[in-house]
Structure formats: C-alpha cells, structure tokens
Amino acid sequence: MIEIVFVSCANEEQAKNIAREVVEKRLAACAQVLQPMTSIYHWDGAVEESTEVPLVFKTTKDSLGPLQELVVSLHSYDVPEFVAIESSHCLPAYARWVVETTSESN
C-alpha cells in the first residue's frame, strides 16, 4: 500500500518549493499543494491562529525516512507537521505507479 503524508507550510511558496524538491528527488510520486487553511493550535503557552498551506504527498513506506529528513531540512518551522497515514485501499495501478516512481530514487 501507499503512504499519504500531510505537511502544513507557512505559505504557498514554501509548499511549492518543498513539493518540487521532494518530487524531483523521487521521494514521493506526487505532491499536492492545497488551498490555504486556518490552523488553531497551542504554541509557546498560547493559543495561536495562522493561515497555512497544506501539502499532501503520495509515497511508500521505504521513502518515509528520507522524505521526513528532507521536509524538515527545507521547512521554516521549528517543529513542522509530518504525519503519515498508510492507505487501507488503493487502485492497484495507482499503487504500482507510486512504487515504480519512488523506487527509482532508492
């Protein structure tokens, strides 16, 4: 199965830069930069609110470690969101494409 990875970025430029770098390095077969969203969260003892840009990657379990390392190195946040969820079902042809695309990096 494939992994779906969620990352929240400070702005669209950061999201696109991270997405392009990750896809060029074949650590994900696909990156989707979504519409800005409002995030409300605890940080440094206060409740904060900010606009963030969600980024979604389609990748494999084997690519998760290197993908996380790259995202953290490119991200402006001290503690960037990096949440991976294993898909429970995927169109076999799509899963093959993700595996084939990312395996070219390993």
pLDDT digits (tens, 9 = 90+) for 88-104: 999 999 999 999 999 86
Find residue 79's DSSP bridge partners: none
Domains of the chain: total:
1
C-alpha 26/C-alpha 2 separation (Å) is 14
Which run of H or E residues covers position 6? Answer: strand 3-9
- The pLDDT, as a whole number, for residue 12 is 98
- The pLDDT, as a whole number, for residue 70 is 98
Written as six digits, the tokens of 30 are: 């696909």
Handedness of CA 56, 10, 74, 12 (dihedral sign): positive
43-59 pLDDT, tens digit per residue, is 999 999 999 999 999 99
- The pLDDT, as a whole number, for residue 105 is 52
- 3-state SS of 17-85? HHHHHHHHCCCCCEEEECCCEEEEEEECCEEEEEEEEEEEEEECHHHHHHHHHHHHHHCCCCCCCCEEE
Query: Which domain range does residue 80 map to?
Result: 3-103
Distances (CA, A) of 89 to 9, 94, 100, 104: 27, 11, 18, 23
CATH of the domain at 74: 3.30.70.120
Single pTM value for the model: 0.93
